[in-house]
Amino acid sequence: MDKQKLIAFENKIADLFNKAKIRAPIHLYSNNEDQMIKIFKKIKKNDWVFCSWRSHYQCLLKGVSEKILTKEIIAGKSISLCFPKHKIYSSAIVGGVLPIATGLAFSNKIQKIKSKVFCFVGEMTAETGIMHECLKFSKNNNLPIHFIVEDNSKSVCTDTRKAWSMKKLSFEGKKDKFITYYKYSLKYPHAGAGRRVQF
Ligand SMILES: Cc1ncc(C[n+]2csc(CCOP(=O)(O)OP(=O)(O)O)c2C)c(N)n1
């Protein structure tokens, strides 16, 4: 799965949405393909990937076929895509995956299971209390987990830095054993694909 294929996939889903073929919310990625491909070079088949409502790229890069993914999205499941066979779990609740991902990493460590956990969160989610608790617990127990903070600068339509009165976010620029932070810009709105669709 290369950059052009990722972009083409999101464009295809945008088109289906704007033609009212998807009767449920979609959240598309854009302009972060290079960062995603780089991150996924470190993610092995046996590792778990946790995502938010925005997860098409993770699914494709973890090996879910375009055909199956498209079918699930058309069935209205874009917002919470889960593929246990591919070790992909998503939730549309802000912060919802964080304690589950942390708990799984804890369990893997205790049971000596060779599987790392990768947990993707938006920059607003990364400012919530649950992120700080999960990171603290993960660091203090040296858990096999890595958090990826994806900064598109917005929490839905609100400027995240303005919302918190912060010039620099908590994990901005971070790169260590537990965190990767990257910045990207969305060409699509927070949800949908730019055209108001009335069902
Ligand atoms: C508990 C909860 N509160 C509010 C929402 C509504 N909501 C959905 S996405 C979102 C903003 C999240 O922003 P960020 O974490 O930066 O992720 P992005 O969508 O930009 O990738 C909010 C507030 C929700 N889904 N869950």
Question: What CATH number belongs to 3-183?
Answer: 3.40.50.970
CA of 190 to the centre of ligand 1 (A): 9
Measured from the CB, is residue 122 less than 6 Å from ligand 1? yes
Ligand 1: atom nearest CA of 92 is 25
Looking from the CA of residue 160, the nearest atom of ligand 1 is 16
* pLDDT value, residue 175: 95
Tell me the C-alpha to C-alpha distance, in Å, between residue 89 and each of 56, 109, 116, 190, 195: 12, 19, 14, 20, 28
Closest C-alpha to ligand 1, atom 17: 122
Q: What is the pLDDT of residue 112?
A: 98
Q: Given the CA of residue 191, which atom of ligand 1 is nearest to it? A: 19
For residue 198, the model assigns a pLDDT of 67
130 lines ligand 1 (CB under 6 A): no
Best residue among 55, 56, 130, 156 to mutate for probing ligand 1's pocket (most ligand atoms within 8 Å of CB) is 156
pLDDT at residue number 141: 98
DSSP letters, the chain, are --HHHHHHHHHHHHHHHHTT---S------S-HHHHHHHHTS--TTSEEEE-S--HHHHHHTT--HHHHHHHHHTT-GGG--BGGGTEEE-SSTTTHHHHHHHHHHHHHHTT----EEEEEETTGGGSHHHHHHHHHHHHTT-SEEEEEEE-SEETTEEHHHHHT-SS-TTTT-BSSSEEEEE---SS-SSS-SS----
Q: Which atom of ligand 1 is nearest to the CA of 121?
A: 15
Q: Is 78 in the pocket of ligand 1 (CB under 6 A)?
A: no
How far apart are the C-alpha atoms of 147 and 98, rounded to whole Å? Answer: 9
The rounded Å distance from CA 111 to ligand 1 centre is 33
Q: Output the tens digit of pLDDT for each of the chain's 199 residues.
A: 899 999 999 999 999 999 999 999 999 999 999 999 999 999 999 999 999 999 999 999 999 999 999 999 999 999 999 999 999 999 999 999 999 999 999 999 999 999 999 999 999 999 999 999 999 999 999 999 999 999 999 999 999 999 999 999 999 999 999 999 999 999 999 999 988 876 6
Atom of ligand 1 nearest to the CA of 54: 21
- For ligand 1, atom 2: residue with the closest CA: 94
